[in-house]
Structure 1
């Protein structure tokens, strides 16, 4: 799995870039599956996370400034594409999975091995890729090669009060049917209703 993570992550990010290219200025105010976030808010968060992970891959991720959303401008597909290119370049180095990544949003001294960090990033951009596509009303297909690793990582993400915090990217987990499609299971584990916005889900 480790040797494939960077490629799977690259493909997930490229999918989000293709979707982001569809965003118009009018779309920026659309709601998303992330409660309280518009498409503009979601793009801003996704861009900030790219910048933070890219900085961590380069050894400078402990500085929270890299992880902060930039002041409203508004947040555009062009800003997102720039940040996505940055993280893809940062992750393309041969030893990225062996590097130590600082993740200051989890605590000032928190570090993880590159393999774990890239796995976190992959899950984020599969789920946020779905969020963005759903908000725009376009199709999203989970990369079949990513299904098993993303599901395994999603199953390890802690559920609980931290997910109730403002701006948390994941809501509380929803009940999961083990016989459902991998994407539906991933979404439910990370607090998304696969039917959004058609009807409430439980």
Structure 2
């Protein structure tokens, strides 16, 4: 990927983080035990996972080796929005730094333990995670419509999300319980690109607590 394209992708990723942060901003402490579309994960655990991923991807972008400890879930206490925005800002700075330095590949031990991953793919992976987990949070608190509408209205962001979702392996061995995504679902023809991406990843766009 050309450097200018990587810079553009990093800024697209920053937009995805801001949309997700706006969702997390609405979460109240009394909602942290609500169920989420991630089976068995209450909202508190989901947010701890998301913040831990921010820290792991940021470490990778700065050149860290394949140390899984850097990817551990990070408790969010009663201020998930603060934790999300702080670590999200650190991740954006790390991605921008990697692009400026021309870092071609990073280590993502949770995804590919034995080899580096091209930096543009890493940014794309996390863009997808950001929007999908942002939707998980929105679904848990009953406020998914604004996020879905915002992504569908942003042609570049919707296209980036769709491209990564379509590229996620769909073979049964990649979609078993415990994997990041469930078996693909049939998209609703009336839904937009965000809902189609969710269905491709095994998320039911109509999920309710």
TM-score category of the 2 structures, normalised to the smaller one: 0.7 to 0.9
Cα separation, 2, equivalents of 1:180 and 1:186: 10
Given candidates 157, 167, 176, the residue that maps to 1:164 is 176
User: Mapping of 1:44-123 within 5 angstroms?
Assistant: 44-70=48-74, 73=77, 76-93=80-97, 94-95=99-100, 98-123=103-128
Give TM-score, length-normalised by structure 2. 0.84
Q: How much has 1:58 moved relative to structure 2?
A: 0.4
SS in 2 for 1:105: coil
Contact 1:98–1:115 (CA under 8 A) maintained in structure 2: no
Contact 2:198–2:204 (CA under 8 A) maintained in structure 1: yes
| Structure-2 change in CA distance of 1:76 and 1:30 (3 Å) | same
Cα separation, 2, equivalents of 1:108 and 1:50: 18
Cα separation, 2, equivalents of 1:61 and 1:137: 39
Q: Which deviations, in whole Å up to 9, do the C-alpha atoms of 1:40-68 show, x marking residues without a partner? A: 11111111111111000000141111111
Q: Is 1:183 the counterpart of 2:201 in the alignment?
A: no
Aligned position for 2:8: 4
Cα separation, 2, equivalents of 1:51 and 1:43: 12
Q: How much has 1:15 moved relative to structure 2?
A: 1.2
Q: How much has 1:87 moved relative to structure 2?
A: 0.4
Q: Which deviations, in whole Å up to 9, do the C-alpha atoms of 1:148-168 show, x marking residues without a partner? A: 1211111110122333243x3
| Structure-2 change in CA distance of 1:146 and 1:124 (3 Å) | same
| Structure-2 change in CA distance of 1:67 and 1:96 (3 Å) | farther
Given candidates 115, 124, 129, the residue that maps to 1:124 is 129
Superposed CA RMSD in Å reads 2.3
| Structure-2 change in CA distance of 1:97 and 1:189 (3 Å) | farther
Give TM-score, length-normalised by structure 1. 0.87
Q: How much has 1:76 moved relative to structure 2?
A: 2.7
* Unaligned segments of structure 1, at least 5 residues: none
Contact 1:52–1:61 (CA under 8 A) maintained in structure 2: no
Report how many residues are paired: 197
Contact 2:38–2:136 (CA under 8 A) maintained in structure 1: yes
Cα separation, 2, equivalents of 1:182 and 1:72: 31
